[in-house]
Amino acid sequence: MEASSIIRPSRDRLRRARIEAGLTQEELATRTKISLAAIGKYERGERSPRGPNLRRIAEETNKPVAWFFEQPEEAAA
């Protein structure tokens, strides 16, 4: 399997979920026990959160895990 064919969560959705939850990167890092550096890298698209970290982010932002993989409606049309 090519690396480009791996499905990754959207960096824009990761950032949007945090902002909609009213959290700073630092607050999200503290609540999820994920390093602040990693949160920043996820939001910049430099890394993607693996299962356990993505689940913790989803829980703290009140989003289902699948939401992070959905395409924006305007792009899906």
Domain boundaries, the chain: 8-70
62: confidence class by pLDDT, cuts 50, 70, 90 = very high
Is 8-70 assigned to CATH 3.30.930.10? no
Contact by Cβ (8 Å): 4, 64: no
Q: Evaluate if pTM is beyond 0.85.
A: no
Which tens digit of pLDDT belongs to each residue from 12-51?
A: 999 999 999 999 999 999 999 999 999 999 999 999 999 9
5: confidence class by pLDDT, cuts 50, 70, 90 = low
- What is the C-alpha to C-alpha distance for residues 11 and 73, in angstroms, rounded to an integer? 16
For 73, residues 6+ apart whose C-beta sits below 8 A from its C-beta are none
